[in-house]
Amino acid sequence: MKTFATVLGAASLMALAACDSAQENKVENAYENAADNMENQADAMEDRADNLTGNAADAAENMSEALEEKADATRKAGEVAAEKAEDRADNAM
């Protein structure tokens, strides 16, 4: 499911890239890369949790979920920042 969401998100970004300003793309890509790194960390944490038991497994799962939520928040912040960059580019024309 995560792979599908990532592919869908990437396809959406590519479809929008044709009409976005260079600055907007730069901003959005920076946030997207940060979110991808967080998701990779979350996936690694989930893999570690599979090898743990009890409270340690629960703690690892909780950390993984927190990282995924942070990645989602980062993506949303990137969208907002990219929109602001697009607005600035539009207003400069």
For 18, phi then psi, to 5°, come to: -65, -30
pLDDT of residue 3: 56
Dihedral sign from CA coordinates of 44, 25, 7, 61 = positive
pLDDT band at 4 (very low <50, low <70, confident <90, very high): very low
CB 78 within 8 A of CB 30: yes
pLDDT of residue 76: 95
If DSSP codes are grouped into helix, strand and coil, which group holds residue 20?
A: coil
Dist CA 50 CA 86 (whole Å): 43
Mean pLDDT of 58-68: 94
CB 12 within 8 A of CB 20: no
For tokens 């697009």, the residue is: 86
CB 46 within 8 A of CB 64: yes
pLDDT of residue 40: 95
Provide the whole-model pTM: 0.68
